[in-house]
Structure 1
Amino acid sequence: MKTGPWRLGRPALAAAAAALLCACAGCGDQGGLRSAGPTPTAVGPERLWPTLPPASRAADDYGAGETAVVKGVEVPGGKLREVDPVTIVRARVAAAPDDYKDIAADVADCPASEGASKDASNGAAEDCPVLGGYYRDLTGDGDDDLLVAVRAPHRQAYLQAYTYRGGKLTQIMDDKDAVLNVHLAGRSIVVRAAADLSGYEYRTSWSYDDHQKAMLPTRDEILRTGSAHTPDVPSPSRS
């Protein structure tokens, strides 16, 4: 005959009650509370060199928090999907040729895309360094922003983000690194980049800061990858 769960309920309950009475009466030490030893004393952070004067300015210019209005590019209806990413990158290169001199010639030779309304993983042509744009809401205003990658010499890449606000096309992120890959986590852009140490990589999370009105590197860390060799590519100086 098959025994149902209800047949086991009462004996199990009785056994549990007996064990509880035994523990209260002190019969044996099975099931009783045992000390885990002394609790370690909590140690707070200790300030070192308290007489060291605070810095008056940052040591390096990391480029974070900088924005730029892109002039000469029309955004029909304020919809970035209607604008060719190649056109936007060309405008930025033309406005700051010294900053993009390593990609200026290649970007100038890029043919215009037939359409920019869909996410793409490749550029307009094989020899064009401008990769297809991804459209996501990075700023949290409910409208699509544009994320563009541009290949640079020595296996480097520019990562640029653009938004449309106040009737102006605005660049809110411009980072160059030895990029391994890029992920989007919510509204944060997570960039994995080659590190100077073999077997390690940089991992930076960029998030939009509503006060600065720009993408900021809210988390920057170096992590062990476990691989025996990190790609031999130069990495820009980091903060």
Structure 2
Amino acid sequence: MRIPPPRAGAVLLLALLSALSLTACGNTGGLASAGPTPTASGPVHLWPERKGADVPPADPGGAPPEYVQGLPRVADQNVHTVDPVALVQAELRAHPGSVTGADGMPAETAAAIRACRTAQEEPGACPVLEPYYRDLTGNGRDEVVVGVEFPDKMMSVRVYTADPDGRLNRIMATTQTVIAVELAGRDVILRVPSGNPGYELITAWSWDEKQRTMLPTREQIVRMPAPARSTAAGAPGIGAAP
């Protein structure tokens, strides 16, 4: 048998050690291939030669900011000290008889609010609901969110902030047939029935620094989950023993 020269043997040994080292390093948590990645495909503009329709300027859709008249100034922009019933009553005095628009209110609801002493003094006794507080403008101070119950599941949702001079400023007012109202981050979320059975419309109202008011910024139509099917009386349910 022919014995390789010492130098050739050393080179062969180093090659074997390097291969073993690389194999061992492959199991130490290094990057590994996840397989081929699909090629990204951007949107394709169909019929680019067609002249599209003109879009009129967007209507913000929100109520313009409005100072509430007839209330004392708020110290340190602390809206927690404001009585929500007195707040809505002051707006009623400023806009008597309004039935449409941001201040619109059914006559029977307005009469009930005038007779209120505190928000939710008894369940259903006062249309002004218990308020909620959240910093919605990002100024480090809470705003107050007020709900007013209308007939037929309708609801007026209003948001007020206090400016550095202590004046109360209404920055949101909308009346909807409301399923639910939620707070998410700095947004007020309204869930209302959509025009399609089985679906609801979710609208997010957000603070607009330029217009100094809250505007509906995002809308989404979502399918409602199907209600659980109840078994008929006396009939065995799924999985029940015969």
Per the normalisation by structure 1, the TM-score is 0.69
SS at match of 2:149: strand
**Matching residue within 122, 125, 140 for 1:125:** 122
Per-residue Cα deviation, 1:206-238 (whole angstroms, up to 9, x for no partner): 111111111111111111112369xxxxxxxxx
CA contact (8 A) 2:74 2:162 kept: no
Mark the runs of 5 or more structure 1 residues left unpaired by the alignment. Answer: 1-12, 21-31, 114-121, 230-239
The aligned counterpart of 1:85 is 84
Per-residue Cα deviation, 1:132-158 (whole angstroms, up to 9, x for no partner): 111111111111110011111110111
**Matching residue within 96, 107, 116 for 2:113:** 107
The aligned counterpart of 2:133 is 135
CA contact (8 A) 1:131 1:150 kept: yes
The one-letter amino acid paired with 1:178 is T
The aligned counterpart of 2:152 is 154
Mark the runs of 5 or more structure 2 residues left unpaired by the alignment. Answer: 1-18, 27-32, 229-242
Matches within 5 A, 1:54-93: 54-56=54-56, 63-77=61-75, 78-93=77-92
Per-residue Cα deviation, 1:45-95 (whole angstroms, up to 9, x for no partner): 44779545524455xx77415211100011341321111001111122232
SS at match of 2:140: coil
1: distance between equivalents of 2:184 and 2:136? 10
CA contact (8 A) 2:74 2:168 kept: no
Count residues with an aligned counterpart.
Answer: 195
CA contact (8 A) 2:135 2:141 kept: yes
The one-letter amino acid paired with 1:186 is G
2: distance between equivalents of 1:65 and 1:57? 17
CA contact (8 A) 1:124 1:130 kept: no
The one-letter amino acid paired with 1:44 is V
CA contact (8 A) 1:137 1:143 kept: yes
The aligned counterpart of 2:99 is 98
1: distance between equivalents of 2:66 and 2:163? 12
Q: 1:105 to 1:34 in 2, by over 3 A?
A: closer
CA contact (8 A) 2:190 2:204 kept: yes
Q: Which moved more, 1:49-58 or 1:209-218?
A: 49-58
CA contact (8 A) 1:152 1:158 kept: yes
The one-letter amino acid paired with 2:197 is S
When Rg is computed on C-alpha atoms for both structures, the one with the higher figure is: 2
The aligned counterpart of 1:44 is 44
SS at match of 1:212: coil
SS at match of 2:196: coil
The one-letter amino acid paired with 1:191 is L
Query: Aligned-pair distance for 1:105?
Result: 1.8
Q: 1:123 to 1:50 in 2, by over 3 A?
A: farther
The one-letter amino acid paired with 1:216 is L
Per the normalisation by structure 2, the TM-score is 0.68
Query: Aligned-pair distance for 1:176?
Result: 1.2
CA contact (8 A) 2:79 2:143 kept: yes
The one-letter amino acid paired with 1:144 is D
Q: 1:149 to 1:17 in 2, by over 3 A?
A: same
The aligned counterpart of 2:174 is 175
1: distance between equivalents of 2:196 and 2:56? 31
